[in-house]
Amino acid sequence: MMEILHLEGEFLTIKGATKVISSTSSQAVVESGEKVYVIVGNEIEVKKLNLEEGEVAFSGKFSMIKIGQSQGKKQPFLKRIFK
């Protein structure tokens, strides 16, 4: 599924979301395919959550959106050491 990030005023929609890792009034972390979105701001609230359709929507005063790579499934600790 293609990932789409749409910001309009105080509303942010992410399409292609697979998991909401965390959500507080000052930060939300959403996984989408191979990307992780870290949304930072104030008064952040989840307005819509439908992971079957891959959509999550937030309202709030957003100050920053960081986009990083998802870790995916992490390897067990011993497997990483003894590569």
pLDDT at res. 76:
58
Give strand pairing partners of 37.
Answer: 30, 67
Q: What is the number of residues in the chain?
A: 83
Give strand pairing partners of 42.
Answer: 61
pLDDT band at 71 (very low <50, low <70, confident <90, very high): confident
pLDDT at res. 14:
96
* Separation CA 36–CA 51 (nearest Å): 15
pLDDT at res. 25:
98
pLDDT at res. 69:
87
pLDDT at res. 74:
56
Please report the domains of the chain, with CATH numbers, ordered by start residue. Answer: 4-81 (2.60.40.2000)
Give strand pairing partners of 12.
Answer: 7, 58
pLDDT at res. 46:
97
Q: Which of 62, 66, 67 is nearest to 7 (CA)?
A: 62
